[in-house]
Amino acid sequence: MSAAVATRQPSADIPSQKRKRSRSRSPDNAPPPSRRRPLSPPAPRGVVDVPRVDDVDPVRRAERERQLAARMAAVELGKTEDNKKGDAKEKGFDAVAEFAKLTSSRSGGVYMPPARLRALQAAAAQDRSSSEYQRLSWDALRKSITGIVNRVNVSNIKHVVPELLSENLIRGRGLFARSIMKAQAASLPFTPVFAALVSILNTKLPMVGELLIHRLISQFRRAFKRNDKTVCHSSTTFIAHLVNQGVAHELIALQILVLLLERPTDDSIEIAVGLTREVGAFLHENSPKANATVYERFRAVLNEGNISHRVQYMIEVLMQVRKDKYKDNPILPEGLDLVEEEEQITHEIQLEEDLKVEEGLNIFKFDPNFLENEEKYKEIKAEILGEGSSEEESGSESDSEEDEGEAVPEKEGIEDRTETNLVNLRRIIYLTIMNALNYEEAVHKLLKVQLKEGEEIELVNMVIECCSQERSYSTFYGLTSERFCKLNRVWCECYERAFETYYETIHRYETNRLRNIARLFGHLFANDAISWAILQTIKMNEDDTTSSSRIFVKIMMQEVTESMGLPTLKERFADPEIKALCTGMFPLDNPKNTRFAINYFTSVGLGALTEEMREHLKNAPRLIMEQRRAMLEAESSSSDSSSDTDSSSDTTSSDSDSDSDATDGPRDRDRRRRSPSPPRRPQQDSPRRRRDDSRSPSPPSRPRRDEPRRGRDDSRSPSPPRSRRNDDRRDDARGSYGRDRRESPGRYRRRSVSDSGSPPRRRYDRSRERSPPPPPRESGRDRDRDRDYDRRRDDSRDRYRDRGR
């Protein structure tokens, strides 16, 4: 070491000298501390470290190493298999212990994944006599009974009973009693259904009905002591229907009524009234004296007046129900009379009797004879349900195989008249609508519902029914319906058919539902989702409408007016096409219907729509006269031939009359003019004698003071009345008057015989061409009326002419 140190010092003093690399050390010496050697790679897994064998001969050494490695590998393999078996045993033990711990807790333990729970149940179910397996079967029995009881109703009760009997009701009768009592208390309207279910089970398993009655009476006792009105009401209602079904004796109902009426309070009387209403019909038939006693007690309580007016009114209503013979509360409702009286078992249990409630039947208990009891109940179930032996089943299978060819065509003709599929479809539609957040989501989901051809109307009806059930109208349903109508013509036609149906049956709906339906259709009309041509269904008159339909139209039109505006609505109804289709809403055929429609639309605030009807109503008399005149003209065409023959005879008679007038003196003519009965009216073709006489040159006589002037001479003369002595002046005036008339433009169609030398012209009678009356209709009174009319017309013309002068 000293030599090495000595050699290093000169190298430090002389930097130019190269440093020599030291030689590698011998393998016997340890490596220097500053040098790091890489770690050797780990041995591969599964490789056994074999100790090295010292042998001079290399071949023999290799063989010995191989044999040693094989022995060591076999030892390692055995150890691995033993470890696997030990792990399996530990896992099996843990599964059983963990499941026992899970079932022993009241709340069911912590959450466990379903796969792991099934594995634990499978491990526990290997031993059917174990407590774990019985606990599993108990839980399954409880869930099954509760589910069956909750879904029973009138339509499926016949199918529910076999399912319920397939469960072990002897073991689970406590579970059944508890479940049905809870279900009845939650839904009192279904009490008759639950009572009918108990009556069927009571005929096969009387212990079930007896246990239920005991628990109901015990429940009523506790509730009566605690003043729990709700529980008392539900218990007495259930007992009343069990009495109606014959499961319980009527004595228990009478005892409860006596207890409630002994010390009357508002609550006790209310419960007694409810019980009597349900069981009164049964007591009236089977115990009339006891029923009369109960009503006497009710009457005494009513007369005492110690209860509130509300409860007094309830007693009065009960008296009326009794008078009506319980028509709304029959003994057995329709569809629930399922048990014959001979088969029913009635339990006579009194109110003060010691009851066997058996609350322990609600709790799971280990049964050492579990398997034996299960086999016994299977035999009882087979006897109740009528299940045959395996030989009978095999025989029936062979028969079915033989008749298989004939059964196929029969199945093709089977029709489902229970409407189960329709009910399910409605349920799906209802749930889809209720679960939608907005109308777009509702339409999207409803379009995915699988509908057969012709079932689209069911979806439309469900949307409208859901809308009607709301407390107030929701635009959700209007927007949903509008989207459907604008998607496809099929939906639009369905809504139009629904409008016709609901308008015809709108009287069946209450006011709130009617309002919602009307506003829904008003929304569709306002947005042109459905055709306005469907309004031809509405006939607005007194005979074709009801109060409900008028309210429906009012609310619908108000909804349309709010959306469109009254001017736009008026323009819409003025459209010729819509106007032709809405003649029923705005009738013009009958003035009575027109007046009714005007009053209706004016009262609902739509008077602007009635302007045309008002105008029509003003012109109605003139139109009626024109129609009658046209009818008379049609009738006159058939009587032209007979009128021509009459005209010739009238002409001859008029000529003779004119000659006689010419020969008569002025006094005779004047006397004839003043006579109260005018001369006979000439025929239409002959000249009028009255007008000829007035135009003759003979002077007229002075008119009387007490009657009006009737002659045309006095009215047309420019001077006041004159005496007979002044003939010349009168003749000049007459001549000048005749000249004035001739010079006037054809205002008068005829001149007198005295003024012109030509024979008198025949007066043109327009009424003859229109409708000449038949000869028998010409009476003296008609002629006088026509003559007076002509005279008044001539007088008015003369007065007008005098004023002009």
Domain ranges in the chain?
132-362, 420-585, 591-634
Q: How confident is the model at residue 193 (pLDDT cuts 50, 70, 90)?
A: very high
Task: Fill in the DSSP letter of residue 369.
Answer: T
**8 A C-beta contact, residue 281 and residue 329:** yes
pLDDT of 34: 54
Q: How confident is the model at residue 524 (pLDDT cuts 50, 70, 90)?
A: very high
Higher pLDDT, 704 or 181: 181
Quick one: average pLDDT of 677-695? 41
pLDDT of 444: 92
* Adjacent-strand bridge partners of 347: 248
pLDDT of 392: 45
Count of helices and strands (H, E) across the chain: 35, 0
Instruction: Report the C-alpha gap between 681 and 670 in whole angstroms.
Output: 17
**8 A C-beta contact, residue 695 and residue 733:** no
Q: Is the pLDDT of residue 121 over 80?
A: no
Quick one: average pLDDT of 420-444? 89
pLDDT of 668: 46
Cα angle: 763, vertex 741, 798; to 5 degrees: 85
Both structure tokens of 82: 């033993």
552 three-state secondary structure = helix
pLDDT of 802: 64
Both structure tokens of 539: 């006939």
Instruction: Report the C-alpha gap between 703 and 484 in whole angstroms.
Output: 90
Buried b (16+ CB within 10 A) or exposed e, 44-77: eeeeeebeeeeeeeeeeeeeeeeeeeeeeeeeee
**Domain at 132-362, CATH class:** mainly alpha
Instruction: Count other Cβ atoms within 10 Å, centred on residue 193.
Output: 23
Both structure tokens of 272: 């007694």
**8 A C-beta contact, residue 251 and residue 350:** yes
Concatenating the DSSP letter of every residue in 627-680 gives HHHHHHHHHHGGGHHHHHHHHHHHHHHHHHHHHHHHHS-HHHHHHHHHSSSPPP
- The full length of the chain comes to 805
Looking at residue 692, its amino acid is D
pLDDT of 42: 54
Q: Which of 259-268, 451-460, 671-680, 683-692 has the highest mean pLDDT?
A: 259-268
Contacts of 364 (CB under 8 A, 6+ apart): 134, 135, 138
Q: Say if 132-362 and 420-585 have the same CATH topology.
A: yes
State the chain's mean pLDDT as an integer. Answer: 75
Quick one: average pLDDT of 723-735? 43
As to burial, measured by CB atoms within 10 angstroms (0-12 exposed, 13-18 middle, 19+ buried), residue 348 is exposed
Instruction: Report the C-alpha gap between 165 and 205 in whole angstroms.
Output: 10
pLDDT of 87: 58
pLDDT of 665: 45
CATH: 1.25.40.180, 1.20.1440.20, 3.40.50.970, 1.10.10.10. Which one for 420-585?
Answer: 1.25.40.180
pLDDT of 310: 93
Q: Is the pLDDT of residue 541 over 60?
A: yes
Concatenating the DSSP letter of every residue in 26-60 gives PTTSPPPTT--PPPPPPPPTT---PPPPP-SSHHH
pLDDT tens by residue, 140-182: 899 999 999 999 999 999 899 999 999 999 999 999 999 999 9
Instruction: Report the C-alpha gap between 284 and 291 in whole angstroms.
Output: 6
Q: How confident is the model at residue 780 (pLDDT cuts 50, 70, 90)?
A: low
pLDDT tens by residue, 297-318: 999 999 998 899 999 999 999 9
pTM of the predicted structure, to 2 decimals: 0.42
Q: How confident is the model at residue 109 (pLDDT cuts 50, 70, 90)?
A: low
Concatenating the DSSP letter of every residue in 175-190 gives HHHHHHHHHHHH-GGG
Q: Is the pLDDT of residue 671 over 80?
A: no
Instruction: Report the C-alpha gap between 292 and 278 in whole angstroms.
Output: 16
Instruction: Report the C-alpha gap between 346 and 199 in whole angstroms.
Output: 10
Instruction: Report the C-alpha gap between 703 and 711 in whole angstroms.
Output: 9
Task: Fill in the DSSP letter of residue 57.
Answer: S
Q: Is the pLDDT of residue 416 over 80?
A: no
* Adjacent-strand bridge partners of 248: 347
Looking at residue 365, its amino acid is K
Quick one: average pLDDT of 660-689? 43
pLDDT of 485: 92
Instruction: Report the C-alpha gap between 62 and 68 in whole angstroms.
Output: 10
Both structure tokens of 486: 């604008």
Instruction: Report the C-alpha gap between 130 and 124 in whole angstroms.
Output: 8
Of all residues in the chain, the percent with pLDDT exceeding 90 is 38
pLDDT of 769: 43
Instruction: Count other Cβ atoms within 10 Å, centred on residue 17.
Output: 10
Quick one: average pLDDT of 666-675? 44
Instruction: Report the C-alpha gap between 109 and 454 in whole angstroms.
Output: 52
pLDDT of 236: 96
Instruction: Report the C-alpha gap between 682 and 653 in whole angstroms.
Output: 8
Both structure tokens of 449: 């519902």
CA-based end-to-end distance of the chain: 179
Task: Fill in the DSSP letter of residue 329.
Answer: S
379 φ, ψ (degrees, to nearest 5) = -65, -40
Q: Please report, for residues 190, 219, 665, the alpha-carbon distance to residue 182 in angstroms, rounded to integers and kept in the order given.
A: 12, 12, 122
Q: Is the pLDDT of residue 283 over 50?
A: yes
Quick one: average pLDDT of 578-589? 86
Instruction: Report the C-alpha gap between 32 and 26 in whole angstroms.
Output: 12
**8 A C-beta contact, residue 716 and residue 731:** no
pLDDT of 698: 43
Instruction: Report the C-alpha gap between 253 and 266 in whole angstroms.
Output: 19
347 three-state secondary structure = strand
Of 109, 172, 149, 165, the C-alpha closest to 364 is 172
As to burial, measured by CB atoms within 10 angstroms (0-12 exposed, 13-18 middle, 19+ buried), residue 457 is middle
